[in-house]
Amino acid sequence: MRLEPLARLLRISNVLTPAADIVAGALLTVLLDGREISPAAWSAGILASVSVYCAGMVFNDYFDFEEDRELRPSRPLPSGQISRRAAGWIGVFLLVLAFSSAALVGTAALGVLAGITILAVSYDASSGRLGPLRITLVPLCRTANVLLGATLAGWPFPGASPILLPYAIGYGGYILIASAFGSMEDRSVVHRRLPVLVAATTALTFVPLLSGWLAISDAGGLRWLVPTFLWLGLSSRVVPAVLLAWREPEPATMGRTVGRVLRGVLLFHGVFCTWLIAQPVPQLLTATAFVVADQVTGMLARRVPPT
């Protein structure tokens, strides 16, 4: 099996985004609740998240095999580069790896991961049978993924920061936008939805800034400078992409918009995480890590389609 088709099957260009979900949820509990996370828990949580994400991508192609033969024949399965049987076994292996890793974190992590798996497999296997409800399943997965990150520090626990759930839900709304554009990638574009999607995208880019301000409302000095810089990078990428989809409502444009919005996940979480860090040096190092991850994702996306 060649590596390039396997990378496309796993959507390897997006794997840093579920890892960023974990980092955001975990850092929130560390920085706001004073919790500690061992290196082993960090590694296990990130591996569980990336594994279940890639498994979801594999099973998406597995269950959409007949549809892809008609609409997306260049994908690894319909093109014959990877057999459907092999893809099924790859997906099973990734799920076993995900649950094994989550078990090293704890019972709460296993429970959240089970929920993510149920949502992901329901999305992959439903293929239109759930109607409009189907589009909400991926955002729910990514919302739960932030909570999975929080379990690395023992969440749920008494006195946990109340900002966790609103932030995770707001982030899920951001992913919902990507799903809405993605639903028009291979089908007719619903023009009346586009103004609403553009307005919603613009509003949702403020979620990490607002969440950070609510969590640290008394932040002084220049603490706001780094997250604002990252937010400018996020908004300057995502908002023009959705405006282009509005001006040029073609399926190909929708695909490019989905890629831009999904890549924006790294800066989205970067804005929030840097808001939580008071010391300038750790804040700059954290911002640099998210920017580097964003650039790596962009380079991978030029080689491996993100959708």
Q: What pLDDT score does 220 carry?
A: 64
Q: What is the mean pLDDT of residues 225-231?
A: 95
**Cα 229 to Cα 170: distance, rounded to the nearest angstrom:** 20
Distances (CA, A) of 233 to 25, 39, 160, 287: 22, 30, 30, 12
Does the predicted model carry a pTM greater than 0.85? yes
- With contact defined as beta carbons under 8 Å apart, do 300 and 266 qualify? no
Once rounded to an integer, what is the mean pLDDT over residues 143-162?
A: 96
What is the per-residue pLDDT for 47?
Answer: 98
Question: Does the pLDDT value for residue 219 go beyond 90?
Answer: no
Of residues 50, 3, 1, 11, the one with CA closest to residue 304 = 11
* Separation of alpha carbons 211 and 284, rounded Å: 19
Q: Which of 19-23, 69-73, 118-122, 293-297 has the lowest mean pLDDT?
A: 69-73
pLDDT for residue 127: 72
Q: Exposure pattern of 47-58 as b/e (b: 16+ CB <10 Å)?
A: bbbbbbbbbbbb
Give tens-digit pLDDT for 25-66: 999 999 999 999 999 999 999 999 999 999 999 999 999 898
Q: What integer is the mean pLDDT of 71-86?
A: 91
**Within 13 Å, how many C-alpha atoms sit on residue 96's CB side?**
6
